């Protein structure tokens, strides 16, 4: 964030300098006077158009940079939410290990289903972000080609240098996004393994409870029926 703030400040300084130089040219002030007089009206108009176009391109880069920053913040929130989901799954496994009631199992399955839905939504968000980055790369390529075609003047060079710095910062930001994506993928794998373990444990628990219920229902409760204690197998009647 400090780098972003510094880069935006540098951009503002460059724009102020360019504005000052343009005013100086317009009023025939400073050492630009001789150069200004050599340019004809057509070259003057072309230069202004080039400078204006570069300014617009840099403003577009600013907007894209802000969008990527917002994406990173959203991804950080998603990472935190996924970690919370992982903690909830681990808690469910702990509860299952300590023999929670069978009626609670359906609630646990709903939690796992919601977690999978969140993971699917996150995958779609990553896909959309990658598509935006590809579009941004195409814009950079077009700007680079145009820069090679244009005559390089002092003002244009300054603007291009600012644009190149911005491109480098955007590349660093994209690398950071890919790092977050990898971390989230690893977290998703871990959550998926925990969910699978939970489902297997729940199935084993259900089978065990079912067998116990069948065993109890197959033997009559003689003590309650006759209101007398049941003799052990070593006694005779």
* pLDDT tens column, 41-61: 555 566 667 667 767 777 777
Task: Please choose, from the candidates 46, 42, 44, 15, the residue with its C-alpha nearest in 3D space to the C-alpha of residue 32.
Answer: 44
Helix 154-218 to helix 41-97 angle (10° resolution) is 20
In a domain, 99, yes or no: no
Whose tokens are 């930001």? That residue is 173
In a domain, 13, yes or no: yes
Query: How many angstroms separate the CA atoms of 191 and 200, rounded?
Result: 14
pLDDT of residue 36: 53
CB 4 within 8 A of CB 169: yes
Give me the number of domains the chain comprises.
1
pLDDT of residue 44: 58
pLDDT of residue 48: 67
In a domain, 168, yes or no: yes
- Per DSSP, the residues of 62-93 read HHHHHHHHHHHHHHHHHHHHHHHHHHHHHHHH
> Is the pLDDT confidence value at 77 over 60?
yes
**pLDDT band per the 50, 70, 90 thresholds, residue 105:** low
In a domain, 39, yes or no: yes
Cβ atoms within 10 Å, residue 142: 11
CB 230 within 8 A of CB 222: yes
Query: Of all residues in the chain, what percent carry a pLDDT higher than 70?
Result: 53
In a domain, 164, yes or no: yes
- Of 73 and 95, more confident: 73
Q: What is the mean pLDDT of residues 190-212?
A: 73
In a domain, 82, yes or no: no
pLDDT of residue 151: 55
CB 153 within 8 A of CB 47: yes
Query: How many angstroms separate the CA atoms of 71 and 140, rounded?
Result: 20
CB 70 within 8 A of CB 9: no
In a domain, 160, yes or no: yes
Domain containing residue 35 = 7-65+113-143+155-186
pLDDT of residue 229: 52
DSSP state of 236: -
Q: What is the chain's mean pLDDT, rounded?
A: 68
In a domain, 101, yes or no: no
Nearest 5 degrees, angle CA 202-CA 203-CA 204? 90
CA atoms within 13 A on the CB side of 92: 26
Which stretches of 98-153 are DSSP H helices? 105-149
Structure tokens at 234: 């070593």
């Amino acid at each position: 964030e400090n780098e972003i703030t510094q880069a935006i400040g540098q951009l503002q300084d460059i724009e102020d300098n360019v504005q000052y130089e343009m005013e100086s040219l317009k009023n025939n002030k400073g050492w630009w006077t001789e150069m200004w007089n050599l340019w004809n009206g057509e070259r003057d108009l072309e230069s202004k158009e080039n400078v204006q176009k570069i300014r617009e391109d840099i403003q577009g880069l600013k907007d894209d940079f802000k969008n990527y920053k917002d994406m990173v913040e959203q991804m950080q929130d998603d990472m935190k939410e996924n970690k919370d989901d992982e903690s909830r799954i681990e808690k469910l496994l702990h509860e299952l290990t300590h023999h929670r009631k069978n009626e609670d199992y359906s609630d646990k399955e709903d939690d796992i289903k919601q977690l999978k839905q969140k993971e699917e939504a996150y995958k779609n968000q990553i896909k959309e972000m990658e598509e935006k980055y590809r579009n941004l790369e195409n814009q950079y390529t077009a700007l680079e080609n145009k820069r090679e075609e244009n005559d390089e003047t002092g003002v244009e060079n300054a603007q291009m240098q600012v644009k190149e710095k911005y491109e480098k910062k955007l590349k660093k930001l994209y690398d950071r996004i890919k790092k977050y994506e990898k971390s989230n993928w690893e977290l998703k794998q871990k959550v998926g393994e925990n969910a699978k373990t939970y489902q297997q444990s729940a199935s084993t628990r259900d089978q065990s409870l079912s067998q116990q219920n069948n065993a109890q229902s197959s033997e009559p409760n003689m003590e309650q029926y006759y209101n007398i204690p049941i003799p052990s197998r070593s006694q005779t009647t």
